[in-house]
Amino acid sequence: MVVISMKKKIDNYRFILISIFVLFLSSGLSSTSIAQNYEQYDGPGISIEYPETHMLFLKGAEENPILDRNWSVLTGLPLGSASFNSASASSSPNLLTAKSAPLEEPFRFDGNISISLFASLEGTGSNSCKSTSILPSPVSSETEFQVTLSMGGIMILDDQSTNAISMSEGYTSPHEFIVVATNVNVSMGQGDTVDISINVRHECIESGSLWWGTYDIRSGITFEGDFIEIELDAIVDANRMVRIELMPISPWGIGDFTHQIIEIVGPTDWSRMYHGEWDDEDLRQYHFEDPQGTRIGDANRTVLTWTSDKPLEPGNYMVDVCIDLSDQNPGNTCNLIVVLRFVIPEDPVSFINSDLAIFIIPLGIMGWIVVSLRGAMLPLPAYGVIILLAFASLGPAMNLPDINNEPYRDNGAAPSFILLSHNPDTGSVSLSDLLDKYDVVVIGMFQHGSPNALLQYDDFSNSIKYNDRDMGYVQIATGEDLRATDLDYYSKILNNSWPLLLDEADSNIGLSLPNSASDAVIVIDSAGFISEWQPGSMSAVEIEDAAIKSSWGSGNNPLKIISSLFSMSLLPLIVLAMPRDRKFKFPEGALIPGAGSLLILYASIVGFSYWAIPVALLASLGAGTNWIWVELFLTFVLIYHGFSILKSGKIKEIEMLSKFAYSKLPQAYKDWKEIHSFTEDAYLGLWLSWLLWIQIPFIIPQGVGAIAQSGPFGIILSVFALSSYILCSGICVIIARNLALIFGPISRIFGEMSIGLRPRAWGLASTIFGVWIMLSILLGPLL
């Protein structure tokens, strides 16, 4: 008995294991089958799954029936009916005539058409009709309908009979009568209608009714063939933001498309792009339903638009679209499925990347050392210092702009423009006019048809409502094939709240801004420099913060000069600040405490002011809108300074200014600090200004110029601001001098041995810097 019991248990275990294995195998085959249902893709493209059939339903009262596109969700007693009996069918066989709404656009149909009519006896059901048919009589007990169908005046069915039925059921289970037209090929124009006329032949002694208007009793017309169309596009702008444009096309207009769900998914492999759920929900970047905006597309059709609110990472993406249609079963979702596959490319590669300068400058200095070896041989420590200077030059080289053909230069000023207004009464509007009226100008740029136009409108309106600053607002529409009529709808919403301008035909102004003619908000300070910008739109709070920031130099302040000394960008200044004397010379007489630092401060201020004061004056006098020409001029000055130092070891202007400033010193200070040492500090101030210009191009123009034009006290405040920058430059040189002495006697020895080489080597590097920036301007914004 025990053995038998054990065998039964073993058999049970075997059965369980076999069952689990079979279940696992079947689930694996099932999942494989499901996976194979999805078409595999290997690149960009679009796939669309249209419904196989489309409907026109009988609706309305018996006296005035119509053909409608909406599948009813009601149940119970049918809303519409047309009664008949044998007498009325003989005397007046026409039961009803109905037509559709006029077509909103031309339509061509090629396929099959079937008409389904649901009818029953008026009572709860009876077999009297079937009983009558058994009797030997020439009178039939069957019911049938004759259908006449025309589309745009073209006859499709002419008094065509349905199947004949001896009815026995009531309205709760009506009979279905069908007539079919095959291989229909017809074209309809705008304003045409679909017309149907229904006659009845009813020989039963009981009355009957034709029913319509509920979820399951849906008398009407079924079209098998292409009926609707979808155009879907994903537009990626220069900031890697995506705008989705959906144009639904139906003979009866956009109302046939009742609801849509749009999702942006990625980045992922092409093989994983299909409609439905995904294993990794993190791939779902956006979920949209109601349109964010609309525009008028080709053939005056409505285009629904959505846009991302942040840039997306480069990679492969898809737009998964699920659309519900008015004529499809309300119990089913996603009657129309669209999967659009697209690529967000990597950011464009520059014509010449600034990384190349990192190699050119050290190699240039090394080559200059090799050439100099043909003359007198200098001590090896001197060449070591020059090599150190070459590597220190890598810091500012990393801040050089790329050389490309982009109209906008990074950290550039706003381009001067004069653009036509959409309002003919306004004429044209220029940036200069706006800056004359307001302390801050806020520009909203959008591609025509983008929903960001409305987002910017809401943000600007809130900013005006809650912000009491002197700010001007303007929107600029840009994009290919932009026409004034494209903005008619939006201009009605705008209602002249602020100017609506049209970009030039080639989007030249948009491309000259940092957003590269894409949707963005740009805040411009009173001196004409870009204070801040953001893709898409900018909230009222962010606009106010940017306005406050722009009124005080857009985040530029004198302390940035000192903090920059501890970055790689100002490393060359420390090498150039190495002492020229092997031993420190003490003053013979009594001088005020800190006299040495004060002399360095005084001399370096001379060199820094030589550059900073003209730049600050130009920015304060309104040259900001044409600042690219000022920058081009500065590159020539930098090349001149570098070449002069490389060739002769001096710059005439600095020599003259230093000599003049030195002559104003008391004799006791002259006896202690020689003029060549004083001039060297002045050169350090000059080189500091150029290094700051390479790293932070607008620290002086914005930090002083924007304040000068920010209000009635702007001029006074700008003088204090400029004085603070000049003072901090002197402090920066003092710190550099002290850092250069960190190695004590070794620093003095190396500094003395490289007195003549250091400035000339730096002159070569400065020349390369100037040429590089000049090319970036000539080949970019000015090309």
| Dist CA 184 CA 168 (whole Å) | 34
Question: Is 103 exposed, middle or buried (CB count within 10 Å of its CB: 0-12, 13-18, 19+)?
Answer: buried
pLDDT exceeds 50 at position 183: yes
Q: Which residue is listed with tokens 């948009």?
A: 510
For the whole model, what pTM was predicted? 0.77
The CATH number for 215's domain is 2.60.120.260
How far, CA to CA in Å, does 66 sit from each of 156, 176, 252, 648?
18, 20, 14, 96
Q: Among the listed ranges 121-130, 543-552, 562-571, 680-689, which one has the minimum average pLDDT value?
A: 121-130
Q: For residue range 548-561, list pLDDT tens digits in order.
A: 888 777 778 888 88
The reply to whether 438 and 492 lie within a common domain is yes
Q: Does 25 fall in a domain?
A: no
* Domain encompassing residue 522: 418-551
Specify the pLDDT at position 586.
62
Residue 582 pLDDT grade (very low, low, confident, very high; cuts 50, 70, 90): low
Backbone angles phi, psi at 536, to 5 degrees: 80, -100
Q: How confident is the model at residue 685 (pLDDT cuts 50, 70, 90)?
A: very high
Residue 19 has pLDDT above 50, yes or no: no
Average pLDDT (151-171) is: 91
Residue 26: is its pLDDT beyond 80? no
Within this chain, do residues 722 and 692 fall inside the same structural domain, yes or no?
A: yes
* Beta strand 440-447 pairing with 471-478: parallel
Residue 671 counted as domain residue: yes
Q: If DSSP states are collapsed to H, E and C, what string results for 113-133? A: EEEEEEEEECCCECCHHHHHH
CA 144-150-155 angle, to 5 degrees, is: 95
Q: Are residues 136 and 186 in the same domain?
A: yes
Q: How many CA atoms are closer than 13 Å to the CA of 95, on its beta-carbon side?
A: 28
pLDDT at 16: 43
Whether residue 332 lies inside any domain: the answer is: yes
Domain end (from 202, 225, 248)? 225
On whether residue 445 sits in a domain, the answer given is yes
Which residues lie across from 67 on neighbouring strands?
Answer: 58, 100
> Which among 455, 459, 468 has a CA at the least distance from the CA of 540?
459
Please state the three-class secondary structure of 460-492 as a single string. HHHHHHHCCCCEEEEEEEECCCCCHHHHHHHHH
Of 192, 225, 258, at which residue does a domain stop? Answer: 225
Q: Is 384 found in the same domain as 334?
A: no
| Residues 522 and 578 reside in one and the same domain | no
Most confident of 107-111, 120-124, 126-130, 619-623: 107-111
Reduced to 3 states (helix: H, G, I; strand: E, B; else coil), residue 164 is coil
Identify the CA nearest to 201 among candidates 141, 121, 289.
Answer: 141
Residue of 753 and 337 predicted with greater confidence: 337
Same domain? For 427 and 573 the reply is: no
Separation of CA 276 from chain center:
26
Residue 39 lies in a domain: no
Model pLDDT, residue 5:
42
- Tens of pLDDT along 294-344? 888 888 889 999 999 889 999 999 999 999 999 999 988 899 999 999 999
- CB contact at 8 A, 683 and 691: no
Position 650 in a domain? yes
Pick from 36-50, 197-211, 392-406 the range whose average pLDDT is largest.
197-211
On whether both 578 and 641 belong to a single domain, the answer is yes
Band (570; pLDDT cuts 50, 70, 90): confident
- Calpha distance 762→365 (Å, rounded): 8
The answer as to whether 675 is a domain residue is yes
Q: From CA 327, how far away is CA 68, in angstroms rounded?
A: 9
In 3-state terms the chain splits into helix, strand, coil percentages (rounded to 5) of: 40, 25, 35
CA 400/CA 396 separation, integer angstroms: 7
Asked whether 528 and 435 are in contact (CB, 8 A), the reply is yes
Query: In terms of Cα–Cα distance, which of 194, 304, 191 is closest to 257?
Result: 304
| 665: three-class secondary structure by DSSP | coil
Q: What is the pLDDT of residues 494-516, one digit of tens each?
A: 988 999 999 988 888 888 888 88
Q: Which residue has the higher pLDDT, 556 or 730?
A: 730
Task: Choose the most confident range, by mean pLDDT, from 73-77, 128-132, 378-382.
Answer: 73-77
Return the axis-axis angle of helices 675-695 and 627-648, rounded to nearest 10°: 140
Beta strands in 479-561 (DSSP E): 500-502, 520-524, 530-535
Same domain, 453 and 381: no
Which helix (H) or strand (E) segment is 689 a member of?
Answer: helix 675-695
**Mean pLDDT in the chain?**
85
Please give the helix or strand (H or E) that residue 56 lies within, else none. strand 53-59
DSSP 3-state assignment of 717?
Answer: helix
Where does 648-688 show beta strands of DSSP type E? none
Tens digit of each residue's pLDDT (9 = 90 or more) over 50-104: 999 999 999 998 889 999 999 998 888 888 999 998 888 888 889 999 999 999 9
- Beta-carbon contacts of 466 under 8 Å, excluding residues fewer than 6 positions away, are 540, 544
pLDDT beyond 50 at 29? no
Segments of 189-281 assigned E as strands: 194-202, 208-212, 220-225, 229-236, 242-249, 257-265
* CATH code where residue 533 lies: 3.40.30.10
String of DSSP letters for 393-460? THHHHTTSPPB-S-SSPTTPBPPP-EEEESSTTT-EEEHHHHHHH-SEEEEEEEETT-THHHHHHHHH
Pair (608, 716) in one structural domain: yes
Q: What was the pLDDT predicted at 17?
A: 44
Mean pLDDT computed over 31-51: 69
In this predicted structure, what is the pLDDT of residue 114? 96
Which of 32-41, 135-144, 293-302, 444-453 has the highest mean predicted lDDT (pLDDT)? 444-453
pLDDT at position 168 is 85
Rounded CA separation 768/394 (Å)? 12
The pLDDT > 70 percentage for the chain reads 90
Those residues whose C-beta lies under 8 Å from the C-beta of residue 299, and which sit 6 or more positions away, are 105
**What would you report as the CA-atom Rg of the chain, rounded to the nearest whole angstrom?**
41
Place of tokens 């597309």: 297
Residues 234 and 221 in one domain: no
Q: Per-residue pLDDT averaged across 536-558, rounded?
A: 86
What pLDDT band is residue 110 in, cutting at 50, 70 and 90?
very high
Are 613 and 468 found together in one domain? Answer: no
The 10 Å Cβ neighbour count of residue 230 is 20
Q: What value does the mean pLDDT take over residues 598-616? A: 94
- Structure tokens given for 25: 């195998």
Cα–Cα distance between 216 and 209 in angstroms, integer? 16
Looking at residue 326, which CATH number applies to its domain? Answer: 2.60.40.10
Listed ranges 122-136, 155-169, 360-374; the one with the highest mean pLDDT = 155-169
Does 781 have pLDDT greater than 80? no
Domains contained in the chain, number: 4
Does 633 share its domain with 743? Answer: yes
Percent of the chain at pLDDT exceeding 90: 44
Predicted confidence (pLDDT) at residue 9 exceeds the cutoff of 80: no
Q: What is the pLDDT of residue 187?
A: 94
Beta-carbon count within 10 A of 506 CB? 11
**Longest Cα–Cα distance in the chain:** 148
What do you get for the CA distance between the two ends of the chain, in Å?
A: 101
HSE toward the beta carbon, residue 359, CA cutoff 13 A: 4
| Nearest-angstrom CA–CA distance, 309 and 292 | 12
Residue 422: burial class (beta carbons within 10 Å; 0-12, 13-18, 19+):
buried
Show which of 204, 225, 246 is a domain's final residue.
225
Instruction: Please say if the pLDDT value at position 1 is more than 80.
Output: no
For the stretch 623-651, pLDDT in tens is 888 888 999 999 999 999 999 999 988 99
Rounded average pLDDT over 140-155: 91
In a domain, 46, yes or no: no
